[in-house]
């Protein structure tokens, strides 16, 4: 299962680009600012969520274009019982520029429907600070990985966020909150919060099982653990929320729950937290997680792996090892680079796409 034909209309600097006949390995090559990452970002929108850059939809529309953008792709080899490819598409319209629409086989669908066909993972230079940065980014990262495996995870995350905002609003109000209203909101928090924690913990377990099955060298093996930010289980969480109303009111925010979770990552062999590893080691740990996740995601559904500027920073031995693992995994891979030289080892088996000034040509 893989994408075969991809088209971008009025997306970033691409007026109309079509990639016909994508391979299992795809190299996107071009000068700085050519529009390579834009192709990856367009692909990332074929999953629920805000895409690889978490950008506003209006920023994605090509400057000067009149009526929104469109990204479409056909998925071949899916187990549908028919030979026809599955057509996936997402677009915006000028009349409602802030609304992303999704179509599956021509029928208007919810964004989560994309997740039933495709699991998409990515690694970008913007993620370099993941281990040293804010816990919120690691939670978001965990959720993105989890929703690629189980699209329903996104719904729990959304509902939890909504209920959390509502409880915090009530707690910071000057008036005493209505306890029955709090009961109802806390029931929502406990329900979706429990599903969220369970989804994150399940993901970490599954990732670890995949990681230990991979060879240790030359990428360091990460050890992941899920650090819960509140009591686990419906009863425990709803009781804590109920018992801590007074304290949370003083703090004007909710202090228990999965919005306080974190993902802890160690360089396993050294028992050193990832945040204290070198830049190169951190990148290698992230790559190891990314590859393990793609392998996990490829079970049962088409899996796409988007690697933005990843190869240039690896020494030749690690680069070769990366290609080896990508070959062994089941994901369709998209890698960007400013030149072809670092990819010589896979240039024969890969489709090479040359990008220049927002247009794409097959080499
Ligand atoms: N909405 C938009 N309309 C038109 N052009 C845009 C839009 N958004 C971004 N761009 C342009 O797209 C170009 C950047 O494309 P992209 O990020 O894909 O580059 P790249 O090929 O990955 O480059 P690098 O190698 O430097 O990372 C920039 O020139 C930027 O100004």
Dist. CA 69 → ligand 1 center (Å): 15
Atom number, ligand 1, closest to the C-alpha of residue 39 = 18
Fold of 1-128+302-363: Rossmann fold (3.40.50)
pTM of the complete model beyond 0.80 = yes
Maximal C-alpha separation, the chain? 69
Per-residue pLDDT tens for 72-102?
Answer: 999 998 777 777 899 999 999 989 999 999 9
Predicted local confidence at residue 59, as pLDDT: 97
pLDDT value for 82: 73
- Cβ-based burial of 316 (10 A; exposed 0-12, middle 13-18, buried ≥19): exposed
**Residue of minimum CA distance from atom 19 in ligand 1:** 33
SS3 319: helix
> In angstroms, what is the span from residue 71 Cα to ligand 1's centroid?
16
Detail the residues annotated as belonging to a binding site for ATP. Answer: 30-37
Complex-level ipTM: 0.99
User: Ligand 1: residues within 6 Å at CB?
Assistant: 12-13, 30, 32-38, 59, 61-63, 336, 338
Comparing CA positions, the residue from 36, 118, 51, 120 lying closest to residue 311 is: 36
Question: Any residues with CB less than 8 A from the CB of 18 and at least 6 apart, and which?
Answer: 5, 6, 7, 8, 360
State the pLDDT at residue 311.
80
The per-residue pLDDT for 136 is: 96
**pLDDT score recorded for residue 32:** 97
pLDDT at residue 299, rounded to an integer: 84
Distance from Cα 358 to the centre of ligand 1, integer Å: 8
Residue bearing the CA closest to ligand 1, atom 26: 32
CA-nearest residue for atom 29, ligand 1, is: 33
pLDDT tens digits, the chain, 363 residues: what are they? 899 999 999 999 999 999 999 999 999 999 999 999 999 999 999 999 899 999 999 999 999 998 999 999 999 987 777 778 999 999 999 899 999 999 999 999 999 899 989 999 999 999 999 999 999 999 999 999 999 999 899 999 999 999 999 999 999 999 999 999 999 999 999 999 999 999 999 999 999 999 999 888 788 999 999 999 989 999 999 999 999 999 999 999 999 999 999 999 999 999 999 999 998 899 999 999 999 999 899 887 899 999 999 986 788 888 999 999 999 888 999 999 999 999 999 989 999 999 999 999 999
User: Which numbered atom of ligand 1 lies nearest the CA of 60?
Assistant: 1
pLDDT of residue 315: 85
Tens-digit pLDDT profile for residues 163-212: 999 999 999 999 999 999 999 999 999 999 999 999 999 999 999 999 99
343 CA → ligand 1 middle, Å? 22
Pairing of strands 302-307, 118-123: parallel
As annotated, the binding site includes 30-37
Given a contact cutoff of 8 angstroms between Cβ atoms, the answer to whether 318 and 219 are in contact is yes
Looking at the CA of residue 35, tell me the nearest atom of ligand 1: 18
C-alpha to C-alpha distance for 181 and 170, rounded to whole angstroms: 9
What's the gap in Å between 34 CA and the centre of ligand 1?
Answer: 6
Domain ranges in the chain are: 1-128+302-363
Q: What is the DSSP string of 129-176?
A: GTTTS-HHHHHHHHHHHHHHH-THHHHHHHHHHHHHHHHHHHHTSSSP
């Amino acid at each position: 299962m893989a994408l075969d034909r991809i088209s971008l209309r009025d997306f970033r600097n691409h007026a109309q680009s079509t990639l016909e006949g994508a391979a299992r390995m795809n190299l996107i090559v071009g000068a700085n600012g050519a529009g390579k990452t834009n192709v990856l970002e367009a692909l990332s929108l074929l999953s629920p969520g805000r895409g690889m850059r978490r950008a506003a939809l209006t920023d994605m529309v090509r400057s000067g274009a009149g009526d929104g953008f469109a990204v479409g792709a056909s998925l071949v080899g899916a187990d549908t019982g028919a030979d026809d490819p599955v057509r996936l598409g997402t677009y915006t319209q000028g009349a409602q520029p802030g609304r992303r629409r999704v179509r599956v086989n021509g029928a208007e669908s919810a964004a989560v429907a994309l997740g039933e066909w495709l699991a998409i993972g990515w690694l970008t230079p913007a993620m370099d600070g993941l281990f040293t940065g804010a816990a919120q980014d690691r939670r978001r990262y965990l959720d993105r990985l989890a929703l690629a495996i189980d699209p329903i995870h996104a719904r729990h995350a959304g509902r939890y966020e909504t209920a959390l905002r509502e409880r915090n609003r009530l707690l910071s109000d000057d008036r005493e909150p209505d306890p029955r209203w709090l009961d109802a909101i806390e029931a929502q928090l406990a329900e979706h919060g429990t599903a969220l924690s369970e989804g994150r913990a399940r993901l970490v377990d599954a990732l670890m099982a995949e990681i230990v099955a991979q060879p240790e060298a030359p990428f360091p093996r990460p050890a992941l653990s899920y650090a819960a930010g509140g009591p686990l289980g419906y009863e425990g969480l709803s009781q804590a929320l109920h018992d801590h109303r007074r304290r949370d009111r003083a703090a004007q925010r909710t202090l228990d729950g999965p919005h306080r979770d974190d993902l802890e990552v160690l360089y396993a062999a050294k028992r050193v937290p990832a945040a204290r590893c070198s830049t190169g080691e951190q990148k290698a740990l992230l790559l190891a997680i990314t590859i393990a996740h793609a392998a996990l995601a490829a079970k049962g559904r088409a899996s796409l792996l988007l690697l933005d500027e990843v190869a240039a920073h690896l020494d030749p031995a690690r680069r070769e090892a990366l290609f080896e693992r990508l070959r062994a995994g089941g994901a369709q891979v998209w890698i960007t680079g400013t030149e072809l030289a670092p990819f010589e080892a896979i240039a024969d088996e890969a489709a090479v796409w040359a990008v220049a000034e927002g247009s794409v040509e097959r080499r």
